Amino acid sequence: MQVVLLTTQPYAVLDEATNQMLAIARTNPCLTALDTDLKLNKPDLRVRPDREKAALLGVEVDTIGRTLETMMGGRQVTRFKREGKQYDVIVQVADAERVTPNQLNEIFVRARSGQMIPLSTLISYNETVAPKELNHFNKLRASTVSANLVGTCALGDALKFMDDAARQLPGSIRADYNGPSREFKQSSKGSTRPS
């Protein structure tokens, strides 16, 4: 069984609704192996340049962006040939040196005056978690709640239970179906959405 929760709201709102749907579904003895494809467990670091401080210290905001891009993401700067093979030269901080946000303190940028300024004095950052994948269904943000049916439990009964559960979710969340659940809904009622 696959129920797809859809919204235009942020993924954090979708995550709350998904967890609510999972909690309701766990009360049904016909459903087992409940899971969702929405996992808000990928570390995410949001970095913002302090434009005023950068201007005071003579550092271009573009320089901050290029430095972060190069040191954290890597940038190909040239190629070289050796023994008939061509190799890319990529500038990047070693993996072990870009594990924690505190390691940004060890990166410097050059001001117009030539002075080296610690990058950490020119930025602010906050750590959050984000989805590993940004799933969409019918052009909306989506999460899929999936489950297996136990024994002789009927798919129609399980889907009716999930229809009722979907009505308990916030109004910004709508439910649809995927896979065999969608086919069953279409063939039995001609509808792909809970009423």
Q: What is the mean pLDDT of the chain?
A: 87
DSSP output for the chain:
-EEEEEESS-HHHHHHHHHHHHHHHTT-TTEEEEEES--EEEEEEEEEE-HHHHHHHT--HHHHHHHHIIIII-EEEEEEEETTEEEEEEE---GGGSSSGGGGGG-EEE-TTS-EEEGGGSEEEEEEEEESS--EETTEEEEEEEEEEPTT--HHHHHHHHHHHHHTS-TT-EEEE-HHHHHHHHHHHS-SS--
Are residues 15 and 91 both part of a single domain? no
Rounded to an integer, the average pLDDT of 128-142 is: 82
158 band by pLDDT with thresholds 50, 70 and 90: very high
| Residue 90 pLDDT | 85
Per the domain annotation, does 59 fall within a domain? yes
Are residues 112 and 54 both part of a single domain? yes
Per the domain annotation, does 194 fall within a domain? no
Are residues 126 and 141 both part of a single domain? no
Q: How many structural domains are present in the chain?
A: 2
131 band by pLDDT with thresholds 50, 70 and 90: low
**Within 10 A of 47 (CB to CB), how many other CB atoms are there?**
15
Which structural domain range is residue 91 located in?
Answer: 46-130
Dihedral sign, CA of 53, 56, 62, 63?
negative
- pTM of this prediction exceeds 0.75: no
CATH number of the domain bearing residue 91: 3.30.2090.10
Half-sphere exposure of 75 (CA within 13 A, CB side): 9
